A and B are shown apart, each in its own frame.
Chain A
């Protein structure tokens, strides 16, 4: 089965760091762009960052101001999000998602169930 499983969430103090992981299975991981999307409590979905299959292109939401770093390891089908200088407003469920792309359309066709990050003292 095609599957994404996030891990690494938890409770962290403001200013702290956390590294999220996403394990992919059931598809050729290196062929796909991957994304992180988050949902703060009571809020909607917010795109966080993306990485191309070869890691040659990485993009971040402007609001992250260099605090987050996305990476991937295609040898073990893993995606990462290193989050530094965490703030209360980073509290959210973080989802990893696969981007399906063809010449006519693209969309996030596979999502994980998410991992909760709570930033609080």
Chain B
């Protein structure tokens, strides 16, 4: 199975900050990398697919980069509704493994 490792596991940030989350794959996955936002009690939400493409309806403050084994998710201008846990996921092969998550908390 492909292992996905996110860093950091958690971070504290203020409203208006820019934050970056890193995801590393244990082998090359080209750009088969997705990012999800998950809030407690809610359905996970697809933010970014194919490493850098914004899902329909997702604000442009979210952006993704990377290919191969290293990827980043950047959130610009954090707002209260952005405080959540973010997961990367590889869709290169089955099982479609997730990173362990990065919890973005209010400072």
Chain B residues near A109: list those with CB within 8 A.
46, 49, 55
B89 touches A107 (CB 8 A): yes
Whether A105 lies near B91 (C-beta < 8 A) is yes
Contact A61 B95 (CB under 8 A): yes
Chain B, residues 63-107, CB within 8 Å of chain A (1/0): the string is 000000000000000000000010101010011111111000000
For the A-B complex with A105-B31, A108-B34 known, give 19 more contacts whose Cβ atoms are closer than 8 Å.
Answer: A35-B96, A37-B44, A37-B98, A44-B85, A44-B98, A45-B38, A59-B94, A59-B95, A62-B1, A104-B50, A106-B49, A106-B91, A107-B34, A107-B46, A107-B91, A108-B36, A108-B44, A109-B49, A112-B43
Please tell me the size bucket of the interface on A.
20 to 34
5 CB contacts below 8 A, A to B, read A45-B101, A105-B31, A105-B32, A106-B91, A108-B34
Q: Does A27 contact B (CB under 8 A)?
A: no
B53 touches A105 (CB 8 A): yes
**B94: A residues at CB distance < 8 A:** 50, 59
User: Which partner residue on chain B sits nearest A113 by CB separation?
Assistant: B43
The residue of chain A having its C-beta at the shortest distance from the C-beta of B103 within the complex is: A44
Q: How many residues of B contact A (CB 8 A)?
A: 28
CB distance from B53 to the nearest CB of A (A): 7
Query: Are A47 and B43 also in contact (CB < 8 A) when A105-B91, A107-B89, A109-B55 are?
Result: no
- Among candidates B1, B41, B45, B98, residue contacting A45 with C-beta atoms closer than 8 Å: B98
* A111/B49 in contact, CB under 8 A: no
- How far is it, in angstroms, between the C-alpha of A105 and the C-alpha of B50 when the chains are bound? 6
Most buried by A among B31, B34, B44, B100: B44
Query: Whole-angstrom distance between the alpha carbons of A74 and B24 in the complex?
Result: 37
